[in-house]
Amino acid sequence: MSNNLAIMNSENGDLAQQPHFVPAASDLKRISPAELTSLLLSFRRPAIGFAENANEWQCRSVQAWHAVARAWENWQFPEAEVALRRLQANTRMSLPVLRESIANHFREITADAINAWLDEVREARADEPDAMKYPSLVFVIASGNIPGAALQQVVQLSLLGIPTLVKSASAEPDFMPAVFSALAQQDAEVASRLMALSWPRENNAATAAVLALSPRVIALGDDDTMQQLRAEAGSALMPFGDRFSAAIIHAKSVKIQALRKLVYDYAMFDGKGCLAPQVVMVIAEQWPDVEQLATHFAGILAEESAKWPAGNWSAQEHALIQQWRGEWQARRAAGENIALFQPADTSWTVVAAEEFDLEQRIAFRAVRLLWVKSFDDVMLILKNYSAKIQALAVEIQDHEHAQLVLDLDEQEEVLGRIICEPGALQRPAFAWMAISRQWFELIHGVKL
């Protein structure tokens, strides 16, 4: 057994005799498959769910998570500065952006929102006498592009008392352990059903040891990662693969304040993650209207960069931004309608065009304004990418909003979309995960 595990066990006594499991240290990078199996056999146990004794658990977990959310939203907890320094080293984001981006994770985690969610799930399961049991172990594989991408899933699993192991990405191993530590300070027993570890992707034996215990697997990442995990986990996998968000505005009627809010959406996490906009669809009859909008957008980005500074991006990331700019400059030189605005550095970029490859993922405050001549054309684009769209920030007319809600077809794994106003993309409602069909089935215990 590794030294870390030996210390943990000596401090806490025989794990089998503990009323609850103390969260493991996050630095067990060389954990062996046998150690991991032993650890998880002690950790795994029946979920609490909505059993007769669930009320006390839910009251305590609601209270604990509400307190943790307020502490992280305001960065008011004992290890806040240490956590912030580690997260900044991992992400290379500026401190103002990192503070605000992570605070957004917690703003909708409130006692009222949590209780409303629990009430809805409780009532739904009461109407389903054959509702499926909750798993005794969930294995969450978190992505490393932004800190806390799996937080909503983990909080909801915790509220149901489902033992959950989070494998943090090697690129960002610090967020979840810090959150679980803060939770343990509020209520050690609530935190006892959560554990965060990190091991390299190449340690296939460790991952296989977890999968051998037949957990439900929830994974976040790109589509290639999901394909690999599907081969390993089979039907136990619930994939949250490549998704992107977008915005829809009218060139002539959009308000400056709405553009400023969209800039905020782009600044958070430096434009990374599925809730960051990948494109702004600009409805306009004429190209000059789009060019003028691009000018306004660039001006606001320049202004807001003082409040939300760009991160200390790597040389490789700077090169990638310059590559995108070079591609757009080449298209403009070839005669396409391209409006391109960029400062001398790579802190932001605004490009307007009649066509973009929306399969290409961009970030680092590179704003693509796509000229669309009518709302009907917008709907065609949305239907083409329907399975990929996570959220939409819109400032459109009421009848267009109604059509948008009505016409977005349900997909196999999608029950809806987040539709919000500009500036709200990064803080969706607490219950937003229900748009995933598989997540809805897991939480509600039904097969749709």
**Helix (H) or strand (E) segment spanning residue 157:** helix 151-159
Instruction: Please give the pLDDT value at position 29.
Output: 58
Q: Give the C-alpha separation, 216 to 447, whole Å.
A: 16
The pLDDT of residue 17 is 34
Q: What pLDDT sits at residue 408?
A: 74
110's tokens: 């409130």
Q: Of 29 and 37, which is predicted with more confidence?
A: 37
CA angle 292, 266, 145 (to 5 degrees): 145
> What mean pLDDT comes out for the span 46-50?
96
Query: Quick one: pLDDT band at residue 25, thresholds 50, 70, 90?
Result: very low
Sort 150 into a burial class: Cβ within 10 Å, 0-12 / 13-18 / 19+: buried
Where is average pLDDT lowest: 109-113, 159-163, 182-186, 197-201?
197-201
- Residue 182 confidence (pLDDT): 96
User: Is the model's pLDDT at 422 over the cut of 60?
Assistant: yes
- pLDDT tens, 123-144? 999 988 889 999 999 999 999 9
CB 280 within 8 A of CB 249: yes
- The CA-atom distances, in angstroms, between 420 and each of 245, 281, 310, 401 are 11, 15, 25, 10
Question: Is pLDDT larger for residue 404 or for residue 318?
Answer: 318
Q: What is the pLDDT of residue 412?
A: 58
Q: How far is CA 172 from the centre of its chain?
A: 13
Would you say residue 11 has pLDDT above 50?
Answer: no
Mean pLDDT, range 361-367, rounded to an integer: 97
112-116 mean pLDDT: 98
Q: Which residues of 303-320 are buried (b: 16+ CB within 10 A; e: fewer)?
A: ebbeebebbebeeebeeb
Chain-wide mean pLDDT for the chain? 91
Question: 415 falls in which pLDDT band (50, 70, 90)?
Answer: low
pLDDT for the residue numbered 441? 95
Beta strands 277-283 and 244-250, pairing class: parallel
The one-character DSSP state at 15 is G
Q: For residue 219, is it left (φ>0), alpha (ψ between -120 and 50) or beta?
A: beta
pTM of the model: 0.92
Quote the tokens at residue 317: 């990331």
Collapsed DSSP state (helix, strand, coil) of residue 272: coil
3-state secondary structure 80-123: HHHHHHHHHHHHCCCHHHHHHHHHHHHHCCCHHHHHHHHHHHHH
Work out the angle at residue 75's Cα, subtended by the Cα atoms of residues 265 and 107, and round it to the nearest 5 degrees.
45
Q: Which residue has the higher pLDDT, 3 or 373?
A: 373
Instruction: Classify 263 as helix, strand or coil.
Output: helix
pLDDT reported for residue 409: 61
Query: What pLDDT, on a 0 to 100 scale, did the predictor assign at position 18?
Result: 36
CB 272 within 8 A of CB 265: no
pLDDT in tens, 305-338: 999 999 999 999 999 999 999 999 999 999 999 9
**What local confidence, expressed as pLDDT, does residue 53 receive?**
85
Which band of pLDDT confidence, cut at 50, 70 and 90, is reported for residue 405? confident
pLDDT at 89: 97
pLDDT tens digits, one per residue of 228-260 = 999 999 999 999 999 999 999 999 999 999 999
- The whole-number average pLDDT for the span 134-155 is 97
Q: Which domains does the chain have, with CATH numbers?
A: 3-242 (3.40.605.10), 244-428 (3.40.309.10)
194-197: strand order across its sheet? 194-197, 164-167, 138-141, 216-220, 237-240
What sign does the dihedral 138-428-381-326 (CA atoms) show?
Answer: negative
* AA letter at 116: A
What is the distance between the alpha carbons of residues 289 and 306, in angstroms, rounded to a whole number? 27
- List the end-to-end C-alpha distance of the chain, in Å, as a whole number: 44
pLDDT tens digit string along 60-100? 999 999 999 999 999 999 999 999 999 999 999 999 999 99
Taking the C-alpha atoms of residue 147 and residue 72, their distance in angstroms, rounded to an integer, is: 13
Instruction: Give yes or no for residue 200 having a pLDDT over 90.
Output: no
Q: Which residue has the tokens 């769209």?
A: 389
Mean pLDDT for 143-149 is: 95
Cα distance between residue 144 and residue 341, in whole Å: 30
- pLDDT of 9 above 60: no
Tokens 């806390």, located at residue:
148
